[in-house]
Structure 1
Amino acid sequence: MAFIDHHDVFVGSTTDGHTFVALNGDLPAAHRILTRNGFTAREHQGRALYLLPPTSAQEAHHQTGQALYELLPHTMDFADLSWTTRWLDSGPLPETGARFDLSDGRVTATADTDAARQVLEQHGFQRTPTGYALPGEISERESVGIVTRTEIHLWALGHGVKVSLGFPTPDAIPPAPSRASAPAPAQPPQPTTSKRRTR
């Protein structure tokens, strides 16, 4: 499986600037909601994928935010690690102070200031020779939750954040996992709440 496979709705960005929504849950209303908000539906290696082409951050922010708002009555199991949708109505975005990389099956991070480094450590990131990393025993789902919470914390302190998922283009997004062979969870997963789009 991949980091994008553990939530009903996962929002991410490709390196070339596409915003994508991967659907993992059974959400019949999602197609109508996403396409009405400008996303193009695509079947990609067994995965329900919705794409916004590279556009202004303001447009991506508003279109994606509206789609997620309309999806709330259907699920609260969101994860949002997109960088293409970051926008502040009040002015320019803060300079990037931390970067997360999920491209090689683990979560690593770098930070440019002592304050950002302290935030990473508060959320369980451990120092490495090249920066920081989450311990390998943490599950993919919980890793996404930690990155989401850490990003919110950094934003609250005025640090810009960028997350790399390692997908240069939409074609590089991995295939959907085989649901038939996936073991049944021992208990219902706890939702990871998407950050509010008030930036």
Structure 2
Amino acid sequence: MFIGSTDDGHTFAARNTPIPSARRALTAAGFTARPHQRRTLYLLPPGRHTAETHERAGNALYGLLAHTLDFVDLAWTTRWPPTSPARADVRIAFADEQVTATARTGTGTGTGTREILIRHGFLPTPNGHALLTGLSERDRVNAVVRTESHLHTERITVHVSLGFPTPDAIPPKPGRTPAPTLTPGRSAQPRTR
């Protein structure tokens, strides 16, 4: 189960594999089911208070714990307390196959932030940090999950932009390809609610 946010503030949930009771848990939490390019997206519209979105997403995921522990939540709309992109200490952005991270200056977290980014695979660039190109989608997402979780434990705020301006920009369901094998120490530790 993947929870994300579009740039216009929609919160979405997408299943990459069948999960029993997912539709019921998500719609009971207030998500609206919508067919979208070979999959069903579950959407919460923008404009909701972040605490309400956080609670609704948490309730949905809690309802699914009996069926799976495989969750990834990179939605900026579910974070509490809320962090706007301009106020976040670190902004992580997906664009095509590139993932970049930019730390806000003057936050007092510069050195620790850089060390955490590097520890999780972000390399210094002239404009911040970036993951190596050529990583699989799974490896990129795993690196961002680990980085975001680590920064959060250090009380460093993070805004993750997935690069989807609206729900219509979310790509179709991935085809049936074998999942890449992760090397030791590279597996995700998704946050659950």
Length-normalised TM-score, structure 1: 0.84
Task: Tell me if 1:53 matches 2:45.
Answer: yes
Higher mean displacement: 71-80 or 52-61: 71-80
Task: Tell me if 1:77 matches 2:73.
Answer: no
**Map of 1:30 onto structure 2:** 22
Identity of aligned residues (%): 51
Task: Tell me if 1:150 matches 2:147.
Answer: yes
Q: Deviations over 1:152-184 (max 9, x none)?
A: 1111111110001111111111112233xx3x3
Give unpaired runs (5+ residues) of structure 2: 105-109
Q: The residue matched to 2:98 in structure 1 has which SS?
A: coil
**Map of 2:60 onto structure 1:** 67
Q: The residue matched to 2:114 in structure 1 has which SS?
A: helix
Alignment partners' CA distance in 2, 1:132 and 1:120? 7
Higher mean displacement: 134-143 or 14-23: 134-143
Q: Is the 8 A contact 2:61 2:192 kept in 1?
A: no
**Map of 1:173 onto structure 2:** 170
Q: Is the 8 A contact 2:71 2:192 kept in 1?
A: no
Q: The residue matched to 2:34 in structure 1 has which SS?
A: strand
Q: The residue matched to 1:20 in structure 2 has which SS?
A: strand
Write the letter of the residue equivalent to 2:53.
A
**Alignment of structure 1 residues 114-193 onto 2, 5 Å:** 114-179=111-176, 182=177, 184-185=178-179, 192-193=188-189
Residues 196, 32 of structure 1: alpha-carbon distance in 2 compared, 3 angstrom cutoff: closer
Give unpaired runs (5+ residues) of structure 1: 1-8
Alignment RMSD (CA, Å): 2.2
Q: Is the 8 A contact 2:146 2:188 kept in 1?
A: no
Write the letter of the residue equivalent to 2:63.
E
**Map of 2:34 onto structure 1:** 42
Alignment size in residue pairs: 183
Alignment partners' CA distance in 1, 2:118 and 2:37? 37
Alignment partners' CA distance in 2, 1:32 and 1:106? 35
Q: The residue matched to 2:150 in structure 1 has which SS?
A: helix
Q: Is the 8 A contact 1:19 1:82 kept in 2?
A: yes
Write the letter of the residue equivalent to 2:36.
H
Write the letter of the residue equivalent to 2:79.
R
